[in-house]
Structure 1
Amino acid sequence: MSKRKIVSIVLSFCLVAAVISACGSKQGSSGNSTLKIGTNSVGSVYYTLAVGISELLLKHAEINSSVEAVGGSDANMFAMADNDIDLAVADSPSAYNAMNTIAPFKEKVDVSLVAVGQTSFRPIVVRKNSGIKSVEDLAGKKLIGIRPALFEFELITDNLLQTYGIDKSKVNIIKTVETNETVEALRTGTVDAAIFPVSLGNALLSELMRDNVVEFLPMEEAKVDQVISSLPKSLYKSVIPKGSFPNQDQDVTTFALATYFVADSSVPEEKIYQITKTFFDNNKEFVSFHNAAKEWTLERTTKSKPIIPFHPGTIKYLKETGNWSSELQSAQDALTTK
């Protein structure tokens, strides 16, 4: 084979490789590329919801998207900052901290709100044979109270122990990375208690409670109020109604936060308008993916006070459908003029 022929073949291979590389790179902000939706671990409620959103977008708007199991909500915000994802299902405190450069974020993440979803609770569950009947009983026990990807875990742990007058050094505080790890630790008895991130109907906690492995740790409402007063405004008090989980015969007052569907602000307005329109116009179909989807309503999105700005594409849809109010405009102005 001649040298000229060899050079020609090599150049052809290089050209093909360059094209493949370009096609494989993130181009989420372009009109025809695949958008990436970041979420929590596979099997989580957030992951299931993201899959539902992805299927709605493809079916009703011919928008291609992929669901990326990035990790916790903080991890999703970091991924958005690195241009690895375009959209995310995430906890509202992470989005708020990312936008306002609050630890663990050292640089602002330009994130915008698309929709408001279900309440995400942060109750404490305890093994039934642990002997823990009150918060005071946590002394001398092993508590999963830190998760790097969910900053609120450690804040709740620290303020809870302080409120109840428990010496932090008397509690063996364990750090875990994901919920599946927490489930395994509770089942095997390597820990006694855990802060458990759940939405109503969470399958992992439902199974634990159905098997009589764990129960909710009761807390006095006044004590919860006291802890909440020391936490960021993105966290609030809420109630898990009795019967929400197997063998739950009482309401549970606990800590909570909102779930957000967010977008990188650089994604074009028209693209987010199409996504918002598809999502809300087909909201009844979305409910078929998970029971928690019932809370992802237009009313909830427009009646909840936002803690990050709405994306211009979402605003366009809300105005078009007569759902953009003077109150929302005032909130948007306050958030965008900081």
Structure 2
Amino acid sequence: MKKAIAIFLVLTFCSMLLAGCSDAPADGSTAGGTSILNIGTGSVGGTDNTVVEAISSVVNQKTGLKTSTITTNGGTEIIYLLETGDIQAGYSGTIDLINALNGASSFDHAVDPSHMLQCFGFVTWDLPLVVLDNSGIESYEDLAGKRVGLSPVGSSTAEVLMLVLEAYGLTDSVTIENFTWNEGYTALKDGRIDAMVGSWANGDPISGLIELKATKDIRILSMSEEAAQAVAQANAGVSSGVLNSENDDSIASGEEVVAPANSGVIIADASVDEESIYQYTKAVLENLEELKGISNYFDAFEDVCMSVCVEGVPFHPGAAKALKEAGLWEDRFTVYDGV
């Protein structure tokens, strides 16, 4: 099964290239020899896609680097593509980094950390399942026999929610359907599914949720403490967060919703030279105000750029250099030394 998933992801990527998702060569160069970074991002409408596209725009304007974004199914596929050399950088969820290190879940082997060196974190996603308020579904246990919408196969969010469903013993009693974010919320609104994964990025709902709530009242399902512990034990890259009425007005004042949480990290292959990743990271740090003007997902950047990263995965030397110059580096992390 794992090998089948890996093959599916690679074939999906190849088909997207043939469809013209990027004009950039996969070897990271242009016809004129100018360095270019092919950067993997998730499906349109997700936080990672918004963030990576915004960063690429700023980097292309402010530095001599050239970047080209390539839409994929998410963190798992991106790590595979980094390993094969088809892209040079991308985003990953912390759940994916742990799975890749251990050869777990969709990974049929342990991935060498040199293919997924951390650059900086950019978000923590709270990822509870969301239902329509009039659905009669009040808890995860009520989902037995229901249709549950998740993000695309291979995405970090889908991996997280599969752990949640497993913790509740629901893996074999729900029907899983995979969507892009906006398509999933439309399916929930139209009654084609009974639940869809929600996403609060650094505490704020993503755009698809905001659009759904403009026409429908929703209920956010809270995860039990036992389920949260089971999920964290299954993968150290998954934590739990708490949402309240300040995060969403569908939560009553004084109440809290416990949600599974995954964080997003920009990663790069060790083959990318130190100067390129230094310039990429420095451009982000020096243009945060402009990036905040593009998206509020950057508002908490200084708080999450190191705190959400995975201690077991080294940092790219170029990123570490820029973070140290900015006074953001934390000594609990290590820098890749080529070994």
* TM class, shorter-length: 0.7 to 0.9
Corresponding residue number in structure 2 for 1:86: 88
Corresponding residue number in structure 1 for 2:58: 56
Q: AA paired with 2:26?
A: K
1:152 and 2:157 matched: no
Residues 116 and 267, structure 2, Cα contact 8 Å, conserved in 1: yes
- What fraction of aligned residue pairs are identical, expressed as a percent? 26
3-state SS of paired residue (1:327): coil
Distance 1:204 1:236 in 2: 23
Corresponding residue number in structure 2 for 1:313: 318
Task: Give unpaired runs (5+ residues) of structure 1.
Answer: 1-22
1:26 and 2:39 matched: no
Residues 265 and 309, structure 2, Cα contact 8 Å, conserved in 1: no
CA offset digits 1:217-268 (Å, max 9, x no partner): 2344x23433334430100111123232454434321100111111122100
Corresponding residue number in structure 1 for 2:37: 35
Change (3 A) 1:267 1:187: same
Change (3 A) 1:213 1:63: same
Corresponding residue number in structure 2 for 1:231: 234
Residues 146 and 173, structure 1, Cα contact 8 Å, conserved in 2: no
3-state SS of paired residue (1:233): coil
Corresponding residue number in structure 1 for 2:256: 251
3-state SS of paired residue (1:237): strand
Distance 1:243 1:256 in 2: 18
Distance 2:267 2:299 in 1: 18
Change (3 A) 1:132 1:325: closer
Of 136, 141, 148, the residue aligned with 1:143 is: 148
Corresponding residue number in structure 2 for 1:179: 181
CA apart distance, 1:216: 0.6
3-state SS of paired residue (2:52): helix
TM-score normalised to structure 2 length: 0.79
Q: AA paired with 1:124?
A: L
Q: AA paired with 2:105?
A: A
Q: AA paired with 2:214?
A: R
Corresponding residue number in structure 2 for 1:279: 284
Residues 263 and 308, structure 2, Cα contact 8 Å, conserved in 1: no
* CA root-mean-square deviation: 2.8
CA apart distance, 1:29: 7.0
Corresponding residue number in structure 2 for 1:120: 125
Q: AA paired with 1:231?
A: A
CA apart distance, 1:126: 1.1
Distance 2:24 2:91 in 1: 23
**Structure exhibiting the larger radius of gyration computed from Cα positions:** 1
Of 237, 241, 244, the residue aligned with 1:241 is: 244
Q: AA paired with 2:160?
A: E
Task: Give unpaired runs (5+ residues) of structure 2.
Answer: 1-22
Q: AA paired with 1:142?
A: R
Distance 2:193 2:77 in 1: 25
Residues 39 and 90, structure 2, Cα contact 8 Å, conserved in 1: yes
Change (3 A) 1:321 1:26: same
Change (3 A) 1:25 1:145: closer
Distance 2:69 2:174 in 1: 36
TM-score normalised to structure 1 length: 0.79
Residues 38 and 68, structure 1, Cα contact 8 Å, conserved in 2: yes
Residues 115 and 296, structure 1, Cα contact 8 Å, conserved in 2: no
3-state SS of paired residue (2:58): helix
CA offset digits 1:194-213 (Å, max 9, x no partner): 33344223000111123225
CA offset digits 1:94-117 (Å, max 9, x no partner): 133234433312342511111111
Change (3 A) 1:129 1:325: closer
3-state SS of paired residue (1:302): coil
Higher helix share: 1
Change (3 A) 1:100 1:61: farther
Residues 223 and 258, structure 2, Cα contact 8 Å, conserved in 1: yes
Q: Greater shift after overlay, 176-185 or 306-315?
A: 176-185
Segments of 4+ moved more than 6 angstroms: none
Residues 117 and 261, structure 1, Cα contact 8 Å, conserved in 2: yes
Distance 1:64 1:146 in 2: 29
Change (3 A) 1:212 1:244: same
